[in-house]
Copies of this chain bind each other. A is one copy, B any other.
Amino acid sequence: MSFAVSGVNCAAATPLNADLTPDLSLFTEHCLRLLAEGCHGIALLGTTGEANSFSTAERRATLEAALKAGIAGDQLIPGTGVNAGPETVELTRHALSNGVRNVVMLPPSYYKGISDEGLFASYARIFEAIGDDRLQVVLYHIPQVSGVPLSHTLISRLIAAFPSTVIGIKDSAGDLANMQAIAAAHPGFAVFAGADPLMLPLLKSGGAGCITATSNLIADSLRTIYDHLDDAALVEPAQARINAWRTLSNSYVQIPTIKAMVGLKTGNAAWSRVRPPMVPLDAGQLADLQDKFVTLP
């Protein structure tokens, strides 16, 4: 199966300075490590990246820093969908103007109970305002956070109307059957698992890969699975490792826990910082995490 975008992509966490602005130097160091560990791409500025708490200026600066650090535009899949359509247009145009054609685009997610018609109109208006044939959009289905699910009807209608633009979806709802159904209905449409343990079964059902949080920590194991899907001797221990790390990363609120674990892995406590409304792990949680961290496979 050929996809416009595929592979192991990390929903990169964003380290912060003491004033809780993005630490661009530590961030690019992290991105380069993720690529060295096996990621095909960096899905920066997503939910895990706390980008929904960043200004458009901070988002632009973060993407520019990754490019300046030498990461190629086709290795970057920034999140550009925000509540205000004109700002989604601005952020996406900024990516395109910097040689980044693949983006993950959340629908507007403040208003709830939105119809397929309204979501279609929102995406259509944004694509038309951007007006750039290079654009390749990964839709983003994460209803447990956004409150705005993307239905199969909507997905089909968007693919039909914008076949060269709407090239994939990140499905973070955790329902493998939903991901498989989308992949089966739209061969060549890139379905990405938003949960690390689901990349393996999704790849066997025509999926394109993953865009995940635990890949901040164990991208090598995901890459092993991606490259050796039919080699049980390699896949089974890799999947077991992914499961163990993911389970620990869900011990507490996921984003601060993932960041604390990157801190433990790299020996840099600055990674524990999060921007409100996230709260860093407390001392007891950190101590518990550290105890369990050293036992991970």
In Å, the complex CA distance between A107 and B122 comes to 24
Enumerate A40-67 residues with CB–CB distance to B below 8 Å: 47, 52-58
Q: Chain A interface secondary structure, helix, strand, loop or mixed?
A: loop
Contact present for B53 and A278 (CB under 8 Å): no
Tell me which residues across on chain B come within 8 A of A20, comparing CB atoms.
125
Closest to A52 in B: B110
**If A118-B278, A121-B276 touch, does A58 touch B86 (CB 8 Å cutoff)?**
yes
Q: Which residues of B contact A109 (CB under 8 A)?
A: 110
- Chain multiplicity (copies): 2
Nearest residue (CB) in B for A126 is B276
Q: Complex Cα distance A113/B277, Å?
A: 10
A124 to B54, CA, bound (A): 17
Among residues of B, the one whose C-beta sits closest to the C-beta of A114 is: B277
User: Which partner residue on chain B sits nearest A275 by CB separation?
Assistant: B85
Which of B54, B107, B110, B121 lies in contact with A146, CB distance below 8 A?
B110
Q: Is A108 an interface position by the 8 A CB rule?
A: yes
Are A277 and B55 in contact, CB atoms less than 8 angstroms apart? Answer: no
> Which of B85, B145, B253, B255 makes the CB contact (< 8 A) with A53?
B85
Closest approach, in angstroms, between the C-beta of A50 and any C-beta of chain B? 8
Beta-carbon contact of B277 and A119 below 8 Å: yes
Sample (27) of A-B pairs whose CB atoms are under 8 Å apart: A47-B110, A47-B111, A52-B83, A52-B84, A52-B108, A52-B110, A53-B83, A53-B84, A53-B85, A53-B110, A55-B86, A56-B84, A83-B83, A85-B275, A108-B276, A109-B110, A111-B255, A111-B277, A112-B144, A112-B145, A114-B278, A118-B276, A118-B279, A119-B276, A119-B277, A121-B276, A125-B276
Question: Could you list 6 further interchain pairs (A-B, Cβ under 8 angstroms) beyond the known A47-B111, A107-B277?
Answer: A53-B110, A53-B111, A58-B84, A109-B110, A117-B279, A118-B277
